[in-house]
Homo-oligomer: A and B are copies of this chain.
Amino acid sequence: MIRLTEQPFDPGAELNGFCRDRLGVGAVASFLGIARGEPGQASALELEAYPLFTQNEIAKIVASAVDRFGLHDVAVIHRIGAIPPGEAIVLVITASAHRREAFEACDFLMDYLKSRAPFWKREFGPAGPRWVEPTAGDLADIARWDRDAPRGGKTAGAAATNE
Interface residues of A (CB under 8 A from B): 10-16, 19, 21-39, 44-45, 85-86, 88-89, 97, 99-100, 102-103, 106-107, 110, 114, 121, 123-125, 132, 135-138, 140-141, 155-163
Contacts and interface: CB of A to CB of B under 8 A. Distances in A.
A159 B155 CA distance: 33
A123 B163 CA distance: 12
A13 to B, nearest CB: 6
A157 to B, nearest CB: 6
Could you say how many copies of this chain the assembly holds?
2
Task: Select the residue from A36, A100, A162 with max chain B CB neighbours within 10 A.
Answer: A162
A15 B26 contact: no
Contact of A132 (B110, B114, B159): B159
A21 to B, nearest CB: 7
21 contacts: A11-B12, A11-B19, A12-B12, A12-B16, A19-B88, A23-B38, A26-B33, A26-B35, A26-B36, A27-B33, A29-B29, A29-B30, A31-B103, A35-B161, A37-B161, A99-B114, A100-B137, A103-B103, A125-B161, A135-B158, A137-B155
